[in-house]
Amino acid sequence: MKISEKRIELLQPVVLGDREFQRLGSFIMSQYGIKMPPHKKTFLQSRLQKRLKALSIKDFKGYTDFVLSSRGQQEELPSMIDAVSTNKTDFFREPIHFDYLLSYGLDEYTARTGKKSLSVWSAGCSSGEEPYTIAMLLKKFSQIRQNIDYNILATDISNSVLQHATVGIYGIDKIAPIPAEYRIKYLQKGRDTYQHKFRIVSEIRNKVIFQQLNLLEKEYEGIGKFDIIFCRNVLIYFEREVQYRILMQLCHHLSVGGYLFLGHSESIAGLNLPLAHIKPTIFIKTGHQR
């Protein structure tokens, strides 16, 4: 059975040329700080194929012209950023951070500051696993220390992952890292078409506010100060100078004596920041820059 030439043409991916890759990559880097070195051309081409199809645009020149236009930046930019953003995350990822908080950090911080309400920011929260992990942990701490309350802000650049996070429904494979004591208390098993899905219970969901935020914005308006900030496995996608700018912003919104948690492959070495090293990827804000 022969396949028509037109059918073969439709099956082949649209090729992203060097010029359009440079135009798109430069824009993504300047506006969002996401690195687009030459080896990411295939990645970008693959991620944007569906956008060309959805918009019935035949090539990347047409797509690039559109997305960089005034209309395109209003209508298409959120979808493009959703497509190129990396959203890898898990419940209880890098558990050393949660072990530190529960075994020492939370007790030490509340005793030192006398605070009865803790404010936490999950920056780059993706589909919600990190902020919900933090909420479960703080719920446990609040039960041990009954006079402690907490709230969590979770932000990400991608609206699509934030919508998923707000609903709080996860497949059985995603909840596997959650310890049994937390699964029993804080997950509801779905029924019928959702029988293989689990939802975070409302008392945990209600502790997290999800909000869209681009970490490259000059000022993070209206989000206030935090006692603890998680920004893990986010900075690795940015150039060093952009990492420094973001870290300075995070420090500005972190209370003196508060904790900052970074990802296992991220470092502040060589950067002049008001942070003191406690343990690998765990820092405390000091009153001055080093």
Q: Which residues are catalytic?
A: 47, 156
Q: Which residues of 245-270 are buried (b: 16+ CB within 10 A; e: fewer)?
A: bbbebbbebbbeebbbbbbeebebee
Amino acid present at 172: I
What does DSSP say about strands 226-231 and 149-156: parallel, antiparallel, or unpaired? unpaired
d(CA 41, CA 84): 11
Q: 122 forms bridges with which residues in the sheet?
A: 154, 230
- End-to-end CA distance of the chain, in Å? 71
Q: Which two tokens stand for residue 281?
A: 């990827």
d(CA 240, CA 243): 5
Q: 271 forms bridges with which residues in the sheet?
A: none
Q: Which two tokens stand for residue 42?
A: 């295939």
d(CA 188, CA 247): 37
CA distances from 71 to 66, 76, 140 (A): 7, 8, 48
Whether 198 contacts 190, CB under 8 Å: yes
